Structures are given as structure tokens and as C-alpha cells.
């Protein structure tokens, strides 16, 4: 088959272009650190890398969610710890108020301290997190949960739990219902009574003068009822705190799992995408040799003519 000069030239240029393109691609791989630059380089590896990258991004989002959950749960636990301390202090004051030698003024002084505890309890029940969301209002994060309406403390939240996606298969609540913490407390007389009413009733008992035998009986009954209700309040808040602590421990466990997944995903992406520098440099050297050989061959072929053969 005869090959024209134009065809020979075009073949030569195409060969040079292929060699240069291969060299440029290897240089791009070395400079970027990536073996797979486009889907056509390795379709299977590209698809797998895309799936791993998406899983890695989800894992990073879960980690951010857990960090936010940890912050909220720590604030929640700290608030419940303060509530626990207030209930325990009220129990101690109730026991002290039962001293038969105390006068009305001494019991009134205890009532004043308890009123301060009650105000602090309401403040804790209306506490907000770092995002300005009320800790104890259920789904109604922007609604102040407890308000004194004049006829007692009223709850304006709901029983909802705000959930955070802590992993692909686990959601965790980062708040508590105020009704569950402060109101659903078994009362000594049956039914439920809020810790706010327990403290208010106790203050009223201590501020009532004791003159007659009936007054003494009423004082004793009032203190006994308060002790029972405060004990139930303490049991309740400790139960809720236990649940919060369990969630905090679970976040720690999920963090460990998430960190392991992060390492695994990074390793998989490296195996699928990262360039083998030793192999790439070797290929670059070989490609340079091929390019130089192709250039020499092209120049030699293009230098031939009929006159060269006639001489």
C-alpha cells in the first residue's frame, strides 16, 4: 500500500500528540495526587469513589450533629443537676422546719429561703440552650414553657422531643418535656403534682402561724406531705437525668464508631483515587523516552524524499 506524504505527516503528528497527551496526563496525576482524574480513567473506580465520598460526607454531617447534641445534652444535664440540688436543699429545709422548738419567725425565714429556691427552679425550667431554644418546652422550642398565670404555674410547651440524627440508624433527643420533668410527679394524696406546687404549698405551710394544737397538726401533716412529694420529685428528676446520661454515653460511643468510619473512608478513597508516585514517575520517564523516539522517527521520515533515493 502506498502512503502519501500528507498521510505520513498526519500519522506522525497524531503519534506525537498521543505521546504528549499521555505525558500531560501523567503530569496532572502527579501534581494533583489523583490517579483518577475523569470517569473515563477508571469508570468502576470513579463510581466507587463517588459512593465512598458521599458516605464520608454523611459521616461528617453526623459528627457535626453529635457535637451539637453533646452541647445540648451537657446543658440539659447541668440544668437537671441544679434542679436536683434545689430539691435536695428543699428536703433539708423541710426536715429543719420540723424542729418542734422553732418559732413562727424561724419557720418564716425557712419559707423565705424556699421561695428563693422556687424562683430559681422556675428560672431553670425556662432555661434556653445555645441556640435560644427552651430546654423543656418540647417541640415548642421558641415558647416559654412555664408561666405564672396568677393561679399557679402553667405549662405552655408540649411532650415532643427534638431529635438529632446522630448516625445513619440512630436519632437522639436533645431536650426534655417540662411536663415530664416538673409536673408528672406522683403526689402523696394521689394523682400528680408539680414540684412548683409542692414548694408553694410548703411555703404556705411554713408561713402559717402555729398557735393551737390543730395548727401543730396541720404543720406536721403539711411537712410530711411535702417530704413525700419532694422525694417523688427527686426520684423523677434523677430518672430523667439517668436517661440524659445514657444518651450522652451513646453519643460518645457513636463518636468512636464515626471516627473509625472516617479513617476507613479516607483509606478507601486513597486506594481508589490516589496516585502511586513511584509508578507515575516511572511512567513519565518512559513516556519521555517514547516521545523523543517518536520525534526522531518523525523527523527522519519527513526528511526522506525521492531525491534521497536517486543519489
Q: What is the pLDDT of residues 116-171, one digit of tens each?
A: 999 999 999 999 988 889 999 999 989 999 999 988 899 999 999 999 999 999 99
Task: Give the separation between CA 98 and CA 113, rounded to whole angstroms.
Answer: 15
Of 29-33, 108-112, 164-168, 260-264, minimum mean pLDDT range: 29-33
pLDDT band at residue 247 using 50, 70 and 90 as cut-offs: very high
User: What residues have CB less than 8 Å from 135, skipping those under 6 apart?
Assistant: 72, 75, 76, 79, 127, 128, 129, 175, 176
Is there a contact between 156 and 172 (Cβ–Cβ < 8 Å)? no
Output the pLDDT for position 309. 47
Output the pLDDT for position 40. 56
pLDDT band at residue 268 using 50, 70 and 90 as cut-offs: confident
Q: What percent of the chain has pLDDT over 90?
A: 60
Judge whether residue 280 has pLDDT over 90.
Answer: no
- Full-model pTM: 0.75
∠40-61-59 over CA atoms, to 5°?
A: 60
Strand extents, DSSP E, 48-90 = none
Output the pLDDT for position 1. 47
Output the pLDDT for position 148. 93
Cell numbers at 293, concatenated: 523516539
Chain-centroid distance of CA 26 in Å reads 42
Is there a contact between 195 and 88 (Cβ–Cβ < 8 Å)? no
What does the pLDDT average to over 105-114? Answer: 97
Q: What is the average pLDDT value for the chain, to the nearest integer?
A: 83
Measured CA to CA in angstroms, residue 228 lies from 13, 19, 67, 302, 303 at distances of: 97, 90, 39, 107, 110
What does the pLDDT average to over 39-67? Answer: 81
How many Cβ atoms from other residues are within 10 Å of residue 106's Cβ? 14
What does the pLDDT average to over 32-59? Answer: 72
Amino acid at each position: 500500500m502506498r502512503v502519501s506524504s500528507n498521510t505520513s505527516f498526519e500519522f506522525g503528528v497524531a503519534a506525537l500528540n498521543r505521546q504528549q497527551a499521555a505525558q500531560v496526563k501523567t503530569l496532572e496525576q502527579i501534581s494533583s495526587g489523583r490517579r483518577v482524574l475523569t470517569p473515563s480513567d477508571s469508570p468502576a473506580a470513579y463510581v466507587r469513589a463517588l459512593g465512598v465520598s458521599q458516605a464520608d460526607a454523611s459521616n461528617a454531617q453526623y459528627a457535626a450533629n453529635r457535637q451539637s447534641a453533646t452541647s445540648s445534652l451537657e446543658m440539659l444535664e447541668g440544668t437537671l443537676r441544679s434542679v436536683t440540688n434545689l430539691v435536695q436543699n428543699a428536703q433539708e429545709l423541710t426536715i429543719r422546719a420540723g424542729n418542734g422548738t422553732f418559732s413562727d419567725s424561724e419557720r418564716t425565714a425557712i419559707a423565705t429561703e424556699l421561695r428563693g429556691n422556687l424562683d430559681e427552679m422556675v428560672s431553670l425550667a425556662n432555661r434556653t440552650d445555645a441556640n435560644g431554644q427552651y430546654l423543656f418546652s418540647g417541640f415548642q422550642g421558641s415558647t416559654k414553657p412555664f408561666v405564672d398565670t396568677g393561679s399557679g404555674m402553667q405549662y405552655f410547651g408540649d411532650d415532643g422531643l427534638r431529635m438529632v440524627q446522630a448516625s445513619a440508624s440512630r436519632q437522639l433527643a436533645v431536650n426534655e418535656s417540662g411536663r415530664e420533668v416538673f409536673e408528672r410527679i406522683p403526689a402523696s394524696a394521689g394523682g400528680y403534682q408539680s414540684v412548683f406546687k409542692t414548694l408553694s404549698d410548703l411555703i404556705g405551710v411554713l408561713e402559717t402561724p402555729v398557735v393551737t394544737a390543730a395548727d401543730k397538726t396541720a404543720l406536721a401533716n403539711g411537712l410530711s406531705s411535702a417530704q413525700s412529694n419532694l422525694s417523688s420529685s427527686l426520684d423523677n428528676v434523677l430518672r430523667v437525668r439517668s436517661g440524659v446520661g445514657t444518651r450522652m454515653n451513646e453519643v460518645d460511643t457513636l463518636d468512636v464508631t464515626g471516627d473509625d468510619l472516617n479513617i476507613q473512608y479516607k483509606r478507601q478513597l486513597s486506594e481508589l483515587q490516589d496516585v502511586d508516585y513511584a509508578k507515575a514517575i516511572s511512567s513519565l520517564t518512559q513516556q519521555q523516552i517514547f516521545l523523543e523516539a517518536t520525534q526522531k522517527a518523525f523527523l527522519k521520515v519527513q526528511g526522506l524524499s525521492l531525491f534521497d533515493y536517486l543519489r
